Every structure is written in C-alpha cells, then in structure tokens.
Structure 1
C-alpha cells in the first residue's frame, strides 16, 4: 500500500559537483533524505515501470537510506529496483549496471573520498540513463522541486532483506539483490588482457592495493586475487567499514602515506595503488616514484592501445580545466582530439556519448574511459597493469621515457580545507575583480600573458557553464588556477593548481617543489592566500 506523507521543504538541498553532501546528523533530520529522494523522482519524466539501480559505498547511514529509497521507489511507480548485496555498489559498478540493464537511472549513496562514521559525511547522487552523473539541467530541476516539496510517497511495509541475493516483491515492484562485484569484474575481463597480467604476476611481479576500508575491497579481492592470481595479502584494508576504519578514504600522499612508504622501500613491491570511498578515484605508485594523477592520465592515453579494448586507438582525450596539460601534448602528437571541461565528471558525458573522446581524467585522481560514464579507480589500476605487462618496464622507466618524448609538466595541487567560506569567496571575488588589468604584470621572472574566469560551452548540446575557476597564464605556458571545490561539507576548500612545462630532459628529475617554487610563491602573492585565509601552508599537497 502506498502512503502519502506530509513534509516541509529544507532550503539547502542544492546538489553540488557530485550530488548532495552534508554531515550525517544533517541527513538524519526528519524527512531530510526522503525529501531529497522524492525531489529526484518529482524532477524526472517517470511513466511507471522503470528500473532503478541503488547502491552505496558502505559508509555510516547507507543501509537506512537505501531501505528508505527502495520504499520510495515502490511508492513512485518503479517496476524494478536493482540493489547491491548489503547495499554495497561502487560508483563505476553502478554506472555499468545502469547501462547494462537499461535502467532509467540510479541513486548512489556516497560522499566519495570524504570521511565517514556517525559524525562524518554522507551524500546522495542521481545518475541518469547513460550511467553518468545527472547534468546541471537535471540537478537544477531537483533543487527546484526540493524547495516546494509538500509530500512524499512511500510503500508502507518494510523493504526486503538486502543481505540475501535474489528477487522479492514490494507491492508491484521487484527488488533484485545482486552480487555487486560479478558484472563489473566480467566487464573488466573484456577490456584487458588478464592472461598477460597473470603471467607478469606469476613471474614474481609484486603489487599492493590499499582499499582504505572502502568499497573496492571486494572488487580488488575478486579481480586481483581470484582472477589474476596475486597473493591474498596484496589487498590491504579490504573490509568495507562504516567509518573507513577511522581513516580518510582519499588516495593521496597524506592519507595513503603507508602505501607510499612501502613503495619507497628498497624491498617494496613493484607497483602500488589505492582507491577511495566509492571506488572512482585512484592513486598509482611505482617503486620509488609517486605518479601524479595528471601524469597518469597522459601515460594511459599514450599507452591505451596496449590493452585489447583500445587496440585500435582512442578517439580523443578530455580533461578538467585544472588538470595539467600533459594529456594535451599526447593528443597533439598523436593527432587526436583534446577537450578541456569544467571540473565534474558530468561534463564528460556528452563527449563520451558522442564518441568524441575515449579516455577522460581529472587531477583529483579520477580517470576513466567510455566503458562506463564515471571515473573508475580499479579500471585505471588494471590499465596500468596491462601496460606494465606489455612493456615489461618499471613505472619509473615508463614515466622517464614518457617525459623524454612529450616533455614534463611539473604540477601540484594545494588544498586549503575547511577555511572560512566568507574569506574564500572574498579571495575569489578579489581575483575576478583584478582579471582585466592583470595581463602584462610581472611577478619576479613571471609575466602574465592572460587571465580569465574559465567558462565552457558544451560542443554537443551548447549548454554553458561559467565561473569555473580563475586562470593566470604566464609567458611560456606556466599557469596558476584558483577554484573553490564543491565536494566538501564544512566551510570551503580552496584549491590552487600550479603548473610549469619543462622540455629539457636534463631537468625532468627536479623535485616538483623545486621546479615550481617561484610559481608557488607567486600563487600566494596574487591570491593573497595567507592574508585572506590566515593559512601559512596548504593542508594537502598532491
């Protein structure tokens, strides 16, 4: 039986870069999660009988909201809900399911790389029928519905037990509980040469994968251990936990420090990797070297043809605007398309659907291809393993040869987390106010050649996104980018991206902090970071 529950709207349910993210106690307010999910359904052109995929990264409060979402789906006329066992489903696996099962969309419960637990972060994101994050026209419609919602419709009886595989019914709706790993692992076997990777591992090649007590643990065990024959202990922190084991599931130099330390040791593994809360980000580490996400994108674009799925070449590459221009140099030399978009995977969807690009990447450790419509951490690890199996060289050797051929884009991202929102917005407004007069200004040896606030017109549907980050470009191509992140839940996160191209191989071995020192100092001068935020240094450097 369907029951209509009276409710009142909340005024803060505008989705950000990757859905609606707040602290767990915020989502636990009366009807808060139900309001947002009903607003999703109210914003969609539902005819009745559609299929909906639901899953999450296992963080605290996931199960409760999944059970509620199942009842809401039944109350809104869905014909089938597909949910991962125990509510577990990585974001790329959810994208794959939406596409494979021709679902109308999916609800993904995650706050990605943000911390979990009773006082941690929680999130709800809607993905559309192509498997990708909802575009801005959809998220805007959801927000508008959330501002006027007065009721939600829910099936009165409890949702079925999602710890048992199989089909049950909730009213007229079928609830199908699936193995969250099987379909995704099968897809990976169609993309990569598992036989060659198995042969590499059999020769003694050692890998270590840190699942960070997040969603990819079961995926890594099935793929790396069961299907590729790696030792069971190569996957660490493999059990998904509601609080990520008290850790921070962000695969970067700070939160994956133990993994990096092991790869820096003389007796360390040959290859290391990590993924984040919902499985869409990745960290790649070779023996003695950490691969920056921007370099990883460029290397994978240059070597994708070594994997069976991309043997005929790739159509093009897309990167977010703050990501380094290393991938551009690969695209230009190979004669393929290169596209620069705002931050947010949703901006890649139209390019992928139109066949303009095959591989996409963001500097925030996200890389993926046209196999799904999300970034995909395990996919990136497997493509690296396929390249290593074909080339039989170390990660360090591959990087050195790549830089020798294409040049090196020295690059860092400086994150200033949980700073005062008013101060952060004032910093950005001050930058925008000075853009018109900045060209020609000199800072030490650096001369500004152009400065703008990045805007983007989608080449497929013509939609326009403005105010996507302030770019300061210097003569010679070095640049500094400032933007506020849309993935946090407290205060504001200021991200400053610093890049310098170096063609001379003799200088490629410089430490990034040395190669970028003048730009780092200039970033503070131009942005007035210390003055406006009272922060003397960033919280995280990647």
Structure 2
C-alpha cells in the first residue's frame, strides 16, 4: 500500500527488482562457491541466506484491477506487445477458441496488433484514447479484444478493461505453450516483426507553452510530407480524427501524427491540463522485421526518432525540458 497506482516499470519498481534478481550460481551438487572470484569479486551478486532466483512470471495491477503489467524473468512486456500476443494466441484459451471477431487499439498504442489482425483476417480498429470508444465496438459485436498503451486490456466478456482477466489470459497461454514469457515474445517477433515502442512524458509543463508547441506542430502539418529531416523522410502528417462506426460521432484533434517512409511514427498529445500544468506525451514507434535486430535496447533503437521529435517540436526551446519526466 501507499505506492503509485500505475502498473508500469517506473512505479512497480519493487516487482521489477524481484523479477530481475540474479540467479544464484549453480556449482553442482555438494559443491560450494569458489573462494575467489578474482577481480570481479566486488561486482559479484550477494546471494544471502534465503535469496531466491527471479520468478518465471510476475504481474502488476492498479488499485481497482482494471490495468495490468506483465513481466517475465528479467523481461518486461509492453502493453502494446501484450495485446498483440493475446490476439495471436487467443485460440489457445478455451473462451476464445472459436476465434476473434476483431480487435481494437487506441491510436497512440503501437501497431503490433494490426499485423496479427491482418494475419488472422479480422478487422482492426484504431480509436482515440478513451475506453468509451472501445465500449461502442464491444457493444456492437465488432471486436473481441481491445487495449491501450496505458496498460488497459479487455474483451467482450465485460465492457470495461480488466487487468485480472489479462493476467489469467497470459497464464492460460503459458500453461498451454510451456514456454517462458521471453520465449513467447521472441517467437512472436520472429513471426510478425518487432515494434520498438516508448512513451516519453513531460509532466508539469506550463500549459500555455504546451498549447503553443502543439499549435505550431498543427500549423506545419500541410508542409511536412515529403520533407527529409535528419535523414528521415516524412510520408504523412495529420491531426488524428475518428468517425465512430457505431454511432457516427466524430472526434477531432486527437493527436498529431508524423509518419515516416520506413513505417516509423511519432505522436504528440497533451494530457492533464490543469492547475499543475500539462503533460506532453511523445509516442515513438519503429518497426523492425529483421530478427537479427530484435535485441537492441529500446531507447537506442528509437534514438533517431527521439532526435527527430526534438527537431520537429522544439521541446527544449518551447517547454524548457531537456529530458522527459517518465519513460515507459
């Protein structure tokens, strides 16, 4: 109790420390540790009495159980990848063995599930942020699974996101496949490619400065396509708008999207404007098909996009921040 409610690696640090614990060395039956680690002794882990190796599976939830984070042994699953894995393995779970009607994700969520939907031959909806948009699709019977990058996942068994259900879904997959969380993700990436993905939050930003930053981006949208900046060619630029296929309502100005010729994208959104300022969220996504390049550290893989986001938005100049407050 008393911790931050968000189930992410930053705030669930106690769980992450447990899941990333080093394995005690195996010196064979009846053998003790060698008395001298040599020059590496000071850096060697301290396996105190009762210390255990990292568990195979861990999960975190928020206070009311509607959001979730999935963690394997020394391996964190992003919410975007989690949704894609659930969709790809749904046939292994009894309640979904007959197949999926469709899937949906919020616009800032990575397109990992899109590739699964294309493989399965089912519809994939891209909605604004907000569970109500999923609710319409669920009520209309157009989707079975839905999820968002902020750790909400759900299905048509209930109209709301359900973190405990997502954990049980994962446990079903693990039981049937008999593989580790990491092995399942590695196999998924080999089949569908990897979407390197991260969200950079700049919290407590002056609201006027944040509004001006977004306004300047919107003003440049018409001229950005076709430009090459920092070696990256911009293919598309827009302010996301959505027409609900169920009730025909229109939601506009849902986030500035910059799409690159290689399939990468950057999304800028504002959230939480109020007395403590605004939060600027920058979403970064890069697709990598080559399995030989699936083990790059995420921020390193996204470094060119991070630099491009700065050039496009002038974050340092406009809001006076050189680093994000939180990276997830």
Instruction: Specify if TM > 0.5.
Output: yes
Q: How does 1:99-498 map to 2 (within 5 A)?
A: 213=1, 245=2, 247-265=3-21, 266=23, 267-486=53-272, 490-498=276-284
Higher relative contact order (CA 8 A, sep 6+): 2
Structure 2: stretches of 5+ with no match in the other structure: 24-52
Determine if the alignment matches structure 1 residue 509 to structure 2 residue 295. yes
Q: State the alpha-carbon separation in 1 of the partners of residues 136 and 10 from structure 2.
A: 34
Partner in structure 2 of residue 518 of structure 1: 304
- 3-state DSSP of counterpart to 1:495: strand
Tell me if structure 2 keeps the 8 A contact 1:316–1:357: yes
Q: State the alpha-carbon separation in 1 of the partners of residues 170 and 138 from structure 2.
A: 21
Q: State the alpha-carbon separation in 1 of the partners of residues 287 and 307 from structure 2.
A: 17
Q: State the alpha-carbon separation in 2 of the partners of residues 487 and 300 from structure 1.
A: 33
TM-fit CA distance, 1:490: 2.8
Q: State the alpha-carbon separation in 1 of the partners of residues 268 and 275 from structure 2.
A: 19
Determine if the alignment matches structure 1 residue 528 to structure 2 residue 284. no
**TM-score, normalised with respect to structure 2:** 0.89
Larger Rg over CA atoms:
1
Tell me if structure 1 keeps the 8 A contact 2:207–2:273: no
User: Deviating runs (4+, > 3 A) in structure 1?
Assistant: 486-489
Q: State the alpha-carbon separation in 2 of the partners of residues 419 and 491 from structure 1.
A: 5
Tell me if structure 2 keeps the 8 A contact 1:412–1:499: yes
TM-fit CA distance, 1:289: 0.6
Q: State the alpha-carbon separation in 2 of the partners of residues 442 and 262 from structure 1.
A: 44
Q: State the alpha-carbon separation in 2 of the partners of residues 437 and 424 from structure 1.
A: 21
- 3-state DSSP of counterpart to 2:70: strand
Count of residues paired in the alignment: 298
Q: State the alpha-carbon separation in 2 of the partners of residues 448 and 262 from structure 1.
A: 42
Structure 1: stretches of 5+ with no match in the other structure: 1-212, 214-244
Distance 1:264 1:487, change over 3 A: farther
Q: State the alpha-carbon separation in 1 of the partners of residues 272 and 160 from structure 2.
A: 17
Q: State the alpha-carbon separation in 2 of the partners of residues 523 and 490 from structure 1.
A: 24
TM-fit CA distance, 1:256: 0.7
Q: State the alpha-carbon separation in 2 of the partners of residues 436 and 540 from structure 1.
A: 31
Q: State the alpha-carbon separation in 2 of the partners of residues 503 and 419 from structure 1.
A: 36
Q: State the alpha-carbon separation in 1 of the partners of residues 87 and 68 from structure 2.
A: 16
Partner in structure 1 of residue 27 of structure 2: none
Q: State the alpha-carbon separation in 2 of the partners of residues 526 and 364 from structure 1.
A: 24
Tell me if structure 2 keeps the 8 A contact 1:253–1:541: no
Distance 1:522 1:259, change over 3 A: same
Q: How does 1:65-80 map to 2 (within 5 A)?
A: none
Give per-residue Cα distances to partners, 1:365-397, cap 9 Å, x unaligned: 111111111111111111111110111100000
TM-fit CA distance, 1:460: 1.1
Partner in structure 2 of residue 5 of structure 1: none
Q: State the alpha-carbon separation in 1 of the partners of residues 315 and 157 from structure 2.
A: 40
**TM-score, normalised with respect to structure 1:** 0.54
Distance 1:440 1:358, change over 3 A: same
Please report the RMSD computed on the Cα atoms of aligned residues, expressed in angstroms: 1.2
